[in-house]
């Protein structure tokens, strides 16, 4: 099974064999194509920097809304990396967290502490970072307009950078895969 076949929406840490194989092949690919993926690495670093830039704004709002929440929306199911997260994380030279076995996907996230998430925002699963419950969205939208507009602009930029990073990664991966077939 090739890396190209493994990196898709079906990849889940629950299937440890495929998960471990995908990570292993991803590490090999990134190492073997270190120079080729320089732009992908640069984009991942910029994304990380941009997420760090908006962390204070998000934290300011979650610190007001989340402590009063009666139903925790940070659940295990949302705390798992998908294949796109793995590309981002490994391109940065990092590793995904080790997940605890036998936890319900509906239980509060295993990385949620009384002080919030234990994973640095810039390396959390993408869907974790950008999920905002209705109460949080309302609070953000009712705040001052200029910081809200800046946040939306920054979020759009992060989304565009992520798309560019993934498109470039898959372009390189497919080019190398097709080249290996013709060799």
Instruction: Indicate whether 181 pLDDT > 90.
Output: no
Confidence bin at 183 (pLDDT 50/70/90): low
What is the per-residue pLDDT for 148? 92
Instruction: Indicate whether 87 pLDDT > 70.
Output: yes
- Inter-axis angle of helices 83-91 and 16-32, to 10 degrees? 40
Tell me which range, 4-8, 63-67, 68-72, 145-149, is most confidently predicted by mean pLDDT: 145-149
State the sign of the Cα–Cα–Cα–Cα dihedral 81, 83, 85, 91: positive
**Distance from C-alpha of 2 to C-alpha of 143, rounded to nearest angstrom:** 48
* 24 falls within a domain: no
Instruction: Indicate whether 179 pLDDT > 80.
Output: no
Reduced to 3 states, what is the DSSP secondary structure of residue 143?
coil
Contact 83, 125 (CB under 8 A): no
**Distance from C-alpha of 96 to C-alpha of 81, rounded to nearest angstrom:** 7
Alpha helices in the chain (DSSP H): 3-6, 16-32, 38-65, 83-91, 126-129, 134-142, 145-182
**Distance from C-alpha of 144 to C-alpha of 112, rounded to nearest angstrom:** 28
* 13 falls within a domain: no
**Distance from C-alpha of 92 to C-alpha of 162, rounded to nearest angstrom:** 13
112 phi, psi to nearest 5 deg:
-90, 125
Mean of pLDDT values over 161-175: 97
In degrees, rounded to 5, the angle at the alpha carbon of residue 124 between the alpha carbons of residues 64 and 152 is 60
Range of the domain at 123: 35-182
**Which has the higher per-residue pLDDT, 129 or 111?**
111
Over the chain, what is the mean pLDDT? 91
* 174 falls within a domain: yes
* 25 falls within a domain: no
What is the per-residue pLDDT for 162? 97
* 9 falls within a domain: no
Q: How many domains in the chain?
A: 1
**Which has the higher per-residue pLDDT, 77 or 49?**
49
**Which has the higher per-residue pLDDT, 178 or 106?**
106
Contact 74, 112 (CB under 8 A): yes
Contact 136, 65 (CB under 8 A): yes
**Which has the higher per-residue pLDDT, 181 or 96?**
96
What is the per-residue pLDDT for 50? 96
Instruction: Indicate whether 160 pLDDT > 90.
Output: yes
Instruction: Indicate whether 45 pLDDT > 90.
Output: yes
**Predicted TM-score (pTM) of this structure:** 0.91
* 18 falls within a domain: no
* 100 falls within a domain: yes
* 153 falls within a domain: yes
């Amino acid at each position: 099974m090739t890396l190209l076949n493994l990196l898709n929406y079906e990849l889940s840490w629950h299937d440890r064999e495929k998960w471990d194989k995908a990570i292993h092949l991803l590490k090999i690919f990134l190492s073997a194509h270190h120079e080729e993926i320089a732009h992908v690495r640069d984009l991942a670093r910029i994304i990380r920097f941009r997420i760090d830039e908006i962390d204070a704004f998000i934290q300011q709002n979650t610190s007001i809304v989340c402590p009063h929440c009666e139903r925790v929306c940070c659940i295990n199911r949302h705390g798992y990396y998908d294949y796109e997260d793995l590309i981002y994380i490994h391109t940065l030279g990092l590793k995904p967290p080790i997940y605890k076995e036998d936890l319900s996907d509906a239980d509060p996230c295993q990385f949620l502490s009384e002080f919030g998430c234990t994973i640095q925002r810039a390396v959390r699963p993408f869907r974790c970072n950008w999920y905002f419950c209705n109460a949080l969205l309302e609070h953000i939208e009712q705040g001052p307009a200029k910081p809200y507009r800046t946040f939306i602009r920054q979020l759009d930029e992060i989304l565009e950078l992520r798309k560019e990073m993934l498109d470039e990664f898959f372009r390189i991966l497919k080019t190398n895969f097709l080249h290996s077939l013709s060799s």
